[in-house]
Chain A
Amino acid sequence: MTSQRRDLDRVITAIADRKVAIDLSSVDICFLVALHMRAEGAGLTSFTEHQLEDVFAHASSLVQSEAEHIRRRATHAIQRLRDQRMLARVDGQGVVRTGEFALTRLATGIVEFFLEDDVLTRTSLHVLIASLRSAINDVLGAARAATSPAQWHDGVVGPLQVSISELVTGIERRQRGLDVQQESFQGEIGRLIEADWFGALDRCQELLESTSATLHELNEVLLRDSSELLALLQDIEELAVAAHETEAETMAHRLMDQIDRSVAWGSARQRSWSDYFQYVHRYLRDVVRLDPTRALTQRLREQMAGEGAKFALTYASAAPIRILRTVALSRELPPVTRPRATREKEPITEPTDDPQAVLAAKVRGALDAGARTLSMVTAQVTADLDAGERFVEAGRIAHTVAQLARVTAKVERPWVVVGSDMEVEEWDTRGSREDKQ
C-alpha cells in the first residue's frame, strides 16, 4: 500500500469518526444566501440574534410565503446551521448577553457556489494574473536578496505558500465555476429548443458564440501569460536549489504544476466545447432550420410505426478484393528412417577390483615392513583414509591380520590409541601364518 493511499485512508477514517454530515433544505440555503448578501450589502461582519431572525423571516417570506410560526422556525433554522458549523458565535459572551454570529468558511463556500459569481471571465483572469505576476516578482526579488534560512522562509516560502498559492487556487476555482456554467448552458440549449423549437435559434446561437468567445479568450490569456509566470517560478526554483532551500524549491515546483494544469484545462475545454459547438451548430442548421414546424419527428415516428410501404435503404457492398497467395512448389521430403547400427554390443572382460585383496596386500606390506602389533598395522594401513572410513576399515584390518599373521593376545587386552580418534584392542603378531605352515 502506498503512503498516498494510507494518507487517504487515514483522512477518510478520521472524517468518518467525526460523523460529519451536511443536511440543508432549500430554505436553509436561501437563508445562508440572504445572510451573505445582507452582510455584503451593509458591510456587516456579524449578526445579532435579532438580525438573524429578521433575515430568516425575509427569506422565508419569499420561499414559503404561507408558512407560520416564523420566529420558532427561525430559532430551529439557526440551531441547525450552528450544529452544522455554518454559523459561528463570535462574541464569546456565553449566557451573559445575546450572541453575535457570523457565517463560517464552510457556509461562505456553499453560498458562493450557488451564487456562481466565481466564474472565470476575461476580466477576472486578467486581474488574477496581474496580481500573480506582481507577487511572484516580489518573491523573486526576496529570493535573490535572501542570505539566511530565516529570510528564505519569511520572504519566499511564506508568500509562495499563502498569497501566491491562493491566487492560483482562485484561478482553478473559477475554472470549475466556468465548467458548471458550461454544463448549465448545454442543458439550457436543449431546454430552449424543446420549449420553443424554431424561436430558440437566436438565443442558442448567442449562448454558443458567447461561451466559445469566452473560452477562446481565456485560453489565449492563459497560454500567453502562463509562460511568463512559469519562467519567474523557474528562476525562484533555481535560486532555491542553489541555496539548498528544499521547501522553497518544492513550493515553486508545485505552483508550476498548478499553472500547467490551468493551461491544460483551457486547451481541453476549448477543444471539447468546439466539438459541442459544431454539433449543435449543425443541428440548428440542418434539423431546426430545415424543419421549422417540427413535423419531421412526428412523420418519422409514423413511418417507423408501420404507416406506408415498408422499405429498406440500399448501399454498395463490393466484395473484398481477393489477393491470391503466391504458389510455391512444395519440397520433396525424404521418408523418415532409422539409422542402421548394431545396438547389441559384445560383452568384454573388465579387470575386477577386489577390495579385500587390496587390503590384504596393504596389511601384508605393513607386516613385512615390521609392524608387530595390530595397532601399528592399523595405523599404517589407515594413514591415508578419512576419519569415517578409518573406523570402518579397522574391523576389516583386524580380520585380515588374523588371516595373514599369527596373532596372540593377553587375557586382559589393552586398548591402544590409533591416530587421534580411534582405539583398538591390541594384538601381537608373530610372523605370517604361511611361515607356521
Chain B
Amino acid sequence: MTATRYAELQDVVLDPSFPELDLALRRGRHIDRDDLVLYTLLTDAQDHLEALYRRYGCELIFKTDGYFYLLPTGDKLSRRQLSSGDMLVGQALALLFLDPSTIERGGRVTAEDVVAQLAVVLSGDALIRAFYTTKRRFDERVAQKAVRTKVAEGVRHLAALGFVELSEDAEIVLRAALMRFAEPVRGAGQPAAALAKLVADGEVALVRQDDTADVAPAGDAGDAGDAGDAGDAGDAQPGEPTEPDDEDW
C-alpha cells in the first residue's frame, strides 16, 4: 500500500472532493495531473478506491502516462463505447500529441489542426465518408462544413471525457489520456495481439467494419451529460463485437 493520508475508506469518502471525483469517474472522465485536486485524491487513496470500485464490478485503471479512469468489467455499472467519429478524432489528437511541433505551443492545438491532421492521414473522400455520407454524389462545400462540425462535436465529447481540455480562447489542450487511443500499437509486439488483450480486458470493443461508415449525417452532438443519460450500451460484454454508440455523434 502506498503512503496515504487516508487510513480507511471512510476517510476517503468524507473528503470534500470525493463526490466530484466519484461522479466524474462514473461518467467516464479520465483524470490526470492537470486535475490536480482529484488526481491527488486518487493517488493518495488509490488502494481504497480500487477496492471500492471493484465491488461495483469496475477497475480503477492507472496508466503510467499519468492518468486514471474507471473501466466497468461487470454489469453493475453501465458503459459505452466511443463512436467511430470520436475514435478518428481521438486518434488524430493522439497524433498531434506525439508531434514535436506542438511542443512549441505547450501542447495546444486548434480545431483546424485536428481537421488538417485527419486530412493528412485519411484522404479527403475518406474523411467525408467517415464523417458525413457514403453516397457517391454530394455537395463538396456542404460535406466539408459537415465534417468540420462533426470534428468539433467529437472534440467536445472527448473534452467531456477528459481526453482534452477546451481553453477559453477556443484552443484544445492535449492531455495524457489521449495515449489510450494509441494503446494497441504502443507495444513492441504485433498490434493484433495487443488489441486482442485489450478486448479481453474490456478496454476496447471490436467494431464491425460495416458499422464504421454508418454515421448519421445530422445527429445531435452529445456532451458528458448526454453520454451518461442513455444507458443503452451498458450491457456490452468484453470481447463482444458491438455496434458503436453513435447516439452522441
Contact = CB atoms under 8 A, between A and B. Distances in A.
B185 A319 contact: no
13 contacts: A190-B104, A282-B33, A287-B98, A296-B186, A309-B206, A310-B206, A311-B184, A311-B195, A312-B81, A313-B81, A314-B203, A315-B82, A315-B161
B143 interface: no
A301 B199 CA distance: 21
Decide if the interface of chain A is mainly helix, strand, loop or mixed.
helix
A301 B94 CA distance: 10
B209 A310 contact: yes
Interface of A: 186-187, 189-190, 193-194, 197, 275-276, 278-280, 282-283, 286-287, 291, 296-297, 299-305, 307-320
A279 B107 CA distance: 7
A189 B103 CA distance: 8
A76 to B, nearest CB: 38
In the complex, which of the residues B33, B100, B227, B234 has the most CB atoms of chain A within 10 Å of its own CB atom?
Answer: B100
Given A297-B95, A311-B198, A316 B206 contact: no
B244 A303 contact: no
In the complex, which of the residues A291, A297, A304, A320 has the most CB atoms of chain B within 10 Å of its own CB atom?
Answer: A304
A315 B100 contact: no
Contacts of B69: 315-316
Given A189-B104, A303-B91, A308 B227 contact: no
A308 B71 contact: no
B38 interface: no
Contact of B87 (A189, A300, A313): A313
B179 interface: yes
B156 interface: no
A283 B100 CA distance: 9
B119 to A, nearest CB: 12
B236 A314 contact: yes
B106 A304 contact: no
A312 B77 contact: no
Given A304-B91, A308-B191, A311-B184, A283 B72 contact: no
Contacts of B121: 301, 304-305
A296 B122 contact: no
Contacts of B101: 190, 194
Contacts of B88: 304
Contacts of A310: 84, 206-209, 211-212
B27 interface: yes
B154 interface: no
B98 A300 contact: yes
A309 B239 CA distance: 13
A297 B91 contact: no
Given A283-B103, A309-B206, A315-B80, 17 more contacts: A190-B100, A194-B101, A279-B106, A286-B65, A286-B179, A287-B98, A296-B182, A296-B185, A300-B91, A310-B207, A311-B198, A312-B82, A314-B81, A314-B202, A315-B81, A316-B69, A318-B228
A275 B122 CA distance: 33
Contacts of B205: 311-312, 314
B79 to A, nearest CB: 5
B203 A300 contact: no
A278 B92 CA distance: 23
B182 to A, nearest CB: 5
Interface residues of B, number: 74
Contacts of A283: 103, 107
Contacts of A312: 81-84, 86-87, 204-205, 207, 244
Contact of A303 (B58, B179, B185, B198): B185
A316 B77 contact: yes
A60 B139 CA distance: 56
Cβ-closest 10 pairs across A and B: A315-B28, A318-B26, A299-B185, A193-B100, A312-B81, A190-B104, A317-B80, A310-B207, A311-B204, A316-B70
Contacts of B97: 287
A345 B188 CA distance: 104
Contacts of B65: 286
A315 B233 CA distance: 10
Nearest to B105: A186
B229 interface: yes
Interface in B157-187: 161, 176, 179-182, 184-186
A358 B186 CA distance: 116
A61 to B, nearest CB: 35
Nearest to A305: B121
B221 interface: no
B177 to A, nearest CB: 10
Interface string B1-33: 000000000000000000000000111100001
Contacts of A313: 81-82, 87, 90, 180-181, 203-204
Contacts of A300: 91, 94-95, 98, 181-182, 185
A319 B234 CA distance: 10
In the complex, which of the residues A279, A287, A303, A318 has the most CB atoms of chain B within 10 Å of its own CB atom?
Answer: A318
B41 to A, nearest CB: 17
B124 interface: no
B219 interface: no
Contacts of A278: 33
Nearest to B173: A279
B185 A311 contact: no
In the complex, which of the residues A296, A297, A299, A300 has the most CB atoms of chain B within 10 Å of its own CB atom?
Answer: A300
B95 A308 contact: no
Given A286-B65, A297-B98, A316 B27 contact: yes
B156 to A, nearest CB: 15
Contacts of B176: 282, 286
Interface in B48-97: 58, 64-66, 69-72, 77-84, 86-88, 90-92, 94-95, 97
B28 A317 contact: yes
Nearest to A284: B103
Nearest to A302: B185
B192 interface: yes
Contacts of A304: 88, 91-92, 95, 121-122
Contacts of B84: 310, 312
